[in-house]
Structure 1
Amino acid sequence: MVREKNPNVLSVHSIIHRQALTAKTLPTKLTTQVFNLLAYLLDICYSLNLLNLNLQDGGSNTIYHRDAITTYTYKFQLWNRKIIACNYSCFPKLFGMLEEALIKQTDTTNKISNQLQHLTDEIKRYFPSLCYNDSYRLAMDPFTLTQMFYRKHCKTIAVIKTKYRSKFNIASGLRSALSSTQPRIENLCKNVQAHPSH
């Protein structure tokens, strides 16, 4: 009807419709992989956001932070094992998409597994040996470390207790006996004047 009145009029599809027609030319496998990876990214970013919020909690301390980071390291390792076994239940959005598709996504599985391994490696790089120093272990469980120390130095403590049985305080003898620093007796003797006899 418009062309009858004006033959120079051009008709075109709407831009949105043309974009939809263009998108249909993408391979279905590629489109599915992109959506699966987007679903995974939503899940992993949600999880990392929860970790971030926990670390920002005003009542937390270094011990709590270390435990939270260590827990996430173990989570990433567990999730990686599950993904390799094609168990996507730890990622609800991805799980829902794959459940609807009813297909096994080997390429997606490999990409996610590699990314989880990378996250684990990065945590280990930025937080080396989280639980291996004595001060952290002492703060977490002071009784276990004290017992280990006592067993290690039990004989020394027994000798000092016998030697100073009549005295209540054995701290000075215990400190010198258990110290890892060796005394320099020669230097001490040089600095002390001899007492001449009267």
Structure 2
Amino acid sequence: MLGRLYELREEVAIFLDSQQKADFHDNFQSEGFQITLAYLVDIFEALNAVNLKLQGKSINIITHHDTIRAFMAKLDLWKCRVQQGNAASFRNLDSALADNIDDRREAWKFIRNPFQCEEADVADEVQEEFLELKFNSTAKEDFKDVDLETFWVKYLPVYPLISHQALRILTLFGSTYLCETAFSTLVAIETKYRNRLNVEGDLRCALSSIRPRIQDLVAKKQCQISH
């Protein structure tokens, strides 16, 4: 409800003005009220998020422990930031205060191993998700067993902000090798005798690193028999 009110604050101000509610309009539009409202939206959003993570059929004492530890770490982070005059922990409040802070952190450090980094190593807007990931014991075990790309793709639905930043770096082309390989393969497939061929499927098979399981595919087909 608070979030919806904050989103519609301009429309609410127009409504109060149209109803000639001068006192309500002036108080609602005051800087102090707008900043307070923004803070309330952020803090209740954070509390609601923690409450939801402590519920569900698949929740156990271990996940409860991880969630509470992550939230306590967030509280310490929020306190430290506020003492420095930094409202980045509170999205709407930060926007209301027009607090734009330059981010000079090294973007790749947390991607290599998020469990050996601190929150200061990542951007302000993803620090809270980073803390949740860092204290997720299941994710820490998964990180040991899979490569970087697979790990970040797996946790993209769970931690979308920080995973998206990691995948943006990991999916950058390091060279033109893949493009050159694809073009060479295209030239070999689409000759002058096959210039009308729709090469999308053939090109995908030719460039894929996944080897087809020919025996399994053949086993599912019925051989033609004589009549």
Question: Looking at CA atoms only, which structure, 1 or 2, has the larger radius of gyration?
Answer: 1
Q: TM-score range by the shorter chain?
A: 0.3 to 0.5
Q: TM-score, normalised by structure 1?
A: 0.37
